[in-house]
């Protein structure tokens, strides 16, 4: 059986495209030749199965008062069990956690990430090996967020919280024995809503993650 990598994230894992001109199909989702998950699959090859579990609006652990089903911690166990055996879980969440109506500080968001990680580690999906989890801190939300309707719905303070997340996520990774990547400076957000990856961003993120997977698994990949 191939090694299973589950990619657990939000719209940036699902592949939402805010700029149709940046998407080959000119729609609102990057296609299978563009999404970072699919590009990672191509780089790793046939011995690996990269599984997309991206849901627009998903956050680490908060119950959204407007849209149901978006708490990452509430759904991670059945998702992981449905893909048993899991060899690596990649978590890229945090952008939606900055929404004003959650009233969460960067420290709170990191605490939510830790809760999610520990629940994933306790899920019986890992076979005969210890849990392997890679935390990816998303790129910083841009200041141009509020020139877009979607950004206005996020509420005030999102860019500032986003910029402060990485050090706290790094601490969570160290405390829980996880791997860590800060995607700021690796993958870029667009200049329209300033919180979704560009086509280049997807490609650069896939490249960085392929290197990290090779580091985690050594010569096996």
Whole-number Å distance between alpha carbons of 104 and 139: 18
15-54 burial, b for 16+ CB within 10 Å, e for fewer?
bbbbeeebbeeeeeebeeebbbbbbbbebbeeebebbbbb
Tell me which residue range forms the domain holding 186.
3-220
pTM for the full predicted model = 0.96
CATH assignment of the domain containing 113: 3.40.50.1110
Can you read off the two tokens belonging to residue 211?
């290197």
When divided into structural domains, the chain yields a total of: 1
pLDDT tens, N- to C-terminus, the chain (221 residues): 999 999 999 999 999 999 999 999 999 999 999 999 999 999 999 999 999 999 999 999 999 999 999 999 999 999 999 999 999 999 999 999 999 999 999 999 999 999 999 999 999 999 999 999 999 999 999 999 998 887 889 999 999 999 999 999 999 999 999 999 999 999 999 999 999 999 999 999 999 999 999 999 984 44
């Amino acid at each position: 059986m191939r090694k299973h990598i589950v990619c657990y994230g939000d719209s940036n894992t699902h592949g939402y495209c805010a700029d149709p001109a940046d998407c080959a199909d000119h729609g609102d989702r990057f296609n299978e030749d563009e999404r970072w998950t699919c590009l990672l699959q191509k780089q790793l090859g046939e011995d690996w199965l990269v599984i997309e579990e991206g849901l627009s609006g998903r956050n680490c652990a908060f119950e959204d008062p407007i849209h149901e089903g978006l708490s990452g911690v509430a759904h991670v166990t059945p998702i992981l069990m449905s893909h048993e055996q899991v060899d690596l879980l990649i978590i890229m969440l945090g952008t939606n956690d900055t929404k004003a109506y959650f009233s969460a500080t960067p420290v709170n968001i990191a605490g939510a990430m830790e809760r999610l990680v520990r629940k994933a580690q306790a899920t019986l999906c890992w076979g005969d090996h210890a849990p392997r989890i890679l935390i990816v801190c998303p790129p910083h939300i841009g200041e141009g967020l509020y020139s877009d309707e979607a950004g206005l719905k996020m509420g005030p303070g999102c860019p500032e919280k986003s910029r402060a997340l990485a050090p706290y996520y790094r601490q969570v990774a160290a405390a829980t024995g996880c791997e860590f990547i800060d995607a700021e400076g690796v993958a870029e957000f667009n200049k329209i809503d300033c919180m979704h990856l560009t086509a280049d961003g997807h490609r650069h993120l896939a490249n960085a993650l392929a290197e990290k997977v090779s580091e985690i698994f050594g010569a096996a990949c």
